[in-house]
Structure 1
Amino acid sequence: MSSHMCHESDSGTKDVQNIQTAQFKTMNKNVNSSCDSGRQSQHKKAKKDHGSTPATLGQKADVKDGALEKDAYSVGHERSIEVNVAMKKQAKKEAKSTHVDSHSSQQHLISTSAAEDENSEMDLYRGEEEIEQELIEKHLSKSVPPVAVGESQSSVLAPEDLQTYSKREWKGNTTKSRLIRKGYETIANIFDLRRVRGDNYCALRATLFQVLSQSEQLPAWSQDPDIIKIESDKDLIQDWQFPFESKRSKVELMEQCLELLKKRLQEAVQCKSPMERELICQQVFVGLDEEYELLEALKFLMLRNAIQLHSDMVKGSDVPEFCWLLFARDTSKCPQTLLTNHLRHVGFSGGLEQVEMCLLGHSLQQTIQVYRLYKSDTEEFITYYPSHHREDWPCLCLLTEDDRHYNALVPKSQTSTKFNKYGRPMWNQPSGGQSYITTRL
């Protein structure tokens, strides 16, 4: 009997050594001993207590008065489960504090936000980090009920210092980074930056913002009583696509867009202070249907102006130089193909090209003055769209880093910067010494 017990004891010790781990050696010792006792009791039912180990006896001693003895194997198995659960919980707790888990959570947050916004407009121009940060902010903002139109909802942000923006966004030391920073430095003492939402409407949006925020008198085209009547162009309108749904016909919807544009222009011109104009802009540029109705109205003005210019070309009348470039393209030989291949896609799958920026300025009877930062050390640093009326049409100032995305430029305080009667700034020499602005204003 004694030798048999020794044999069982040696077997139990070997089983314990195979199961236990270095981290939980002490914790698992009693559990394994109990499991060993349970297996012996199943094989030797007649001798119920014969194969019990000291650990099992210790468990029995701990049983309080008259309590029924539990099956040792069940207890050991339950404790093993408890230990495994505890180990898993501890591992999860430690993993959550690691950088990998934090990164994984952030990626999950981004992917969730991206899935929710899969039908929204694509941003083709901004950096990956900026897009990622915007997705995170959108996700967090959903938990807070909006009480008013705020900065996060605006498609044109508040004024920002150009130097501050430049240093934050162009930190590198590459040739392009230095060139872009140089361009920002050249105009930093004249303008502040107003960042515009970076979708395929950005050129139209930045231009419309400048029109509403700076116009002091109505342009001649807006005073035409027939401006909102498009019956003669209804055949072209059938190919139009709108970024919003409506039960109205396309002709009725476009007339509504033009009426709204005319109304907003009149309101802006009647404002008595820049603050009143700013309030109008805050009401318009919030990404709702009204904003897109105004942008579509600008596109239709471009189409109507293209029809007139093409007619003048056919008659042999004088037309601006950009018209020859506009209608020389294989994809825009006439107004119909211009609409089909270009204008109807603006805002959806593409933006405005440079020659179309000329058409936009000509349609509004405004000179769009663009600071092209990637050409800051060339004569093309400042480009006018179009250039033939820059002395007598009001000037709207935009900024681009790549001829794709456009932001708006607003003058700094009149006490620090002087402007001529056309709204153009009187230049100050940049801190670097030589000025790279070679185009006459």
Structure 2
Amino acid sequence: MPGQEGNRGITQRHTQSPAEQHCSQGHNEVFCSHPLGMASGSTKEQPNLSPFYEIPRLVWNVLNQYLTVAFAVLFKMWQHCKAWCRFPCHGHSSQRNLSVNAEVDMLLYCAKKWKGEALRARQMRKAYEEVFLKYHIKSVRPVKDDSYSALRAVLFQVFNQGIPFPGWMKETDILKLPEKLLYSQGCNWIQQFSFGPEKYAGTKVYGKLRRCLEVFKKEWTEICPSKDPAKRRKLCKTIFSDEAKERKLYEAIKFLMLYWVIDGYENIKEGHNLPQFFNLLFSRDTSSDPLSFMINHLNPIGDTTGVEQVEMFLVGYTLEVKIKVFRLTKCSTEKCQVFYPEDYKCDWHEICLVTEDDRHYNIPIITK
């Protein structure tokens, strides 16, 4: 019928081809190569370009990974270099590595260390103020707080003041003392001597002791003849920023202390008169003879404990110096100021220390 044929024509005019349906779905991102009104069979296919777009992206991902690793490695190297640069080269000391620091105002040092209103803090502030006023101590040199503290504070002043080499060391070749004690006096137990945290050296002990004594003698005989205080200060700065050299110096002093304990023990057995502190030293159960003294009191120095009061007498006696100590815990008593040893000789040079606990010592600067 004419009406039906007209309707079919309208239907055909409005029926979309598959290509038209594909393009009308709203997928704008997909390239449509089918023009409207064309049959699907006449469509000309376009080449697939997606692999060419993937290549730059893959290359960038690979480069990005390599760059990330490279930057991480460079950053790590920079950190290591920065840490390494904190340590001075040999011969170039750094202020922060000095074991004996520059002078600081004593009351400021006290105020910084002893803060608050605890009983101990108030007592220490009062003691510092009393020493400041009574003994004219205006400043101190803070000394590194470890188990070598006492020996460090003493030896620094010996070198800094240019105190002469002890008389008995001029008459005796101290480099031969280890072998002398072994072969002449049969002290083979010296093999148990320990060098700070190094517990046991065995038969190597004699060579190690000799090297320590060589450094000790060399440094003392080189620095003390200098009449220039500035030069001595410079040499001290070099010595007391070298931890390995310092340890040799302190271990040499320990051995020389042992030498005098052995000598004193033999003299007491023979009935000779000796300074009073020797009797005090040998009266202790822990140091009734040289071996027990070495094991219980000498070996721990530089490792677990410092120099005790009785040993301070021995330090002064060995180095032939009069050690004057201001004991802050004994302020306002007659024991505030003591000397090690008490029976010092009049021609011995004097050095001064200040202590809060008879274990750790700082160096006071007295204004006259």
TM-score between both structures, scaled by the size of structure 2: 0.70
Indicate conservation of the 8 Å contact 1:397/1:409, yes or no: yes
Indicate conservation of the 8 Å contact 2:281/2:310, yes or no: yes
In 1, the alpha carbon distance for the partners of 2:202 and 2:237 equals 27
Structure 2 counterparts to residues 245-256 of structure 1, below 5 A = 249-256=204-211
Residues 342 and 410 of structure 1: is their aligned pair in 2 closer, same or farther, counting only changes over 3 Å? same
- 1:217 pairs with 2:164: yes
Indicate conservation of the 8 Å contact 1:180/1:376, yes or no: no
Counterpart residue identity of residue 237, structure 1 = I
Cα deviation 1:388-430 (Å, max 9, x = unaligned): 1164421111111011211122344xxxx1xxxxxxxxxxxxx
Match of 2:195 among 198, 218, 242: 242
Match of 1:434 in 2: none
Cα deviation 1:47-90 (Å, max 9, x = unaligned): xxxxxxxxxxxxxxxx985247xxxxxxxxxxxxxxxxxxxxxx
In 2, the alpha carbon distance for the partners of 1:64 and 1:336 equals 100
Indicate conservation of the 8 Å contact 1:222/1:262, yes or no: no
Match of 1:186 in 2: 130
- 1:361 pairs with 2:302: no
Indicate conservation of the 8 Å contact 2:261/2:290, yes or no: yes
Indicate conservation of the 8 Å contact 2:137/2:364, yes or no: no
Structure 2 counterparts to residues 248-267 of structure 1, below 5 A = 249-267=204-222
Counterpart residue identity of residue 233, structure 1 = L
- 1:66 pairs with 2:16: no
In 1, the alpha carbon distance for the partners of 2:122 and 2:172 equals 50
Match of 1:30 in 2: none
State the secondary structure of the residue aligned to 2:326: strand
Counterpart residue identity of residue 364, structure 1 = L
Structure 2 counterparts to residues 66-105 of structure 1, below 5 A = 66-67=28-29
Residues 172 and 266 of structure 1: is their aligned pair in 2 closer, same or farther, counting only changes over 3 Å? same
Which moves more between the two structures, 387-396 or 330-339? 387-396
State the secondary structure of the residue aligned to 2:207: helix
Residues 141 and 194 of structure 1: is their aligned pair in 2 closer, same or farther, counting only changes over 3 Å? farther
- 1:207 pairs with 2:154: yes
Indicate conservation of the 8 Å contact 1:244/1:289, yes or no: no
Q: Matched residues, percent identical? A: 37
State the secondary structure of the residue aligned to 1:142: helix
In 1, the alpha carbon distance for the partners of 2:263 and 2:26 equals 102
Structure 2 counterparts to residues 347-358 of structure 1, below 5 A = 347-358=302-313
Shift of 1:224: 2.4
- 1:284 pairs with 2:239: yes
In 2, the alpha carbon distance for the partners of 1:274 and 1:248 equals 41
Indicate conservation of the 8 Å contact 1:384/1:390, yes or no: no
Match of 1:374 in 2: 329
- 1:311 pairs with 2:258: no
Shift of 1:288: 2.4
Shift of 1:190: 3.1
Match of 1:341 in 2: 296
In 2, the alpha carbon distance for the partners of 1:141 and 1:363 equals 44
Structure number, greater radius of gyration: 2
RMSD: 2.6
Residues 389 and 300 of structure 1: is their aligned pair in 2 closer, same or farther, counting only changes over 3 Å? same
Runs of 4+ in 1 over 6 A off after TM superposition: 244-248
Shift of 1:153: 0.9
Residues 170 and 64 of structure 1: is their aligned pair in 2 closer, same or farther, counting only changes over 3 Å? farther
Indicate conservation of the 8 Å contact 1:156/1:195, yes or no: yes
Unaligned runs of 5+ in 2: 1-24, 31-79, 183-187
In 2, the alpha carbon distance for the partners of 1:411 and 1:167 equals 19
Match of 2:173 in 1: 226
In 2, the alpha carbon distance for the partners of 1:367 and 1:164 equals 28
In 2, the alpha carbon distance for the partners of 1:197 and 1:161 equals 17
Match of 1:170 among 90, 114, 120: 114
Cα deviation 1:306-359 (Å, max 9, x = unaligned): 111112211121111111110011111111111111111111111111111111
Match of 2:21 in 1: none
Residues 280 and 325 of structure 1: is their aligned pair in 2 closer, same or farther, counting only changes over 3 Å? same
In 1, the alpha carbon distance for the partners of 2:27 and 2:156 equals 86
TM-score between both structures, scaled by the size of structure 1: 0.59
Shift of 1:248: 9.1
In 2, the alpha carbon distance for the partners of 1:163 and 1:182 equals 10
State the secondary structure of the residue aligned to 2:247: helix
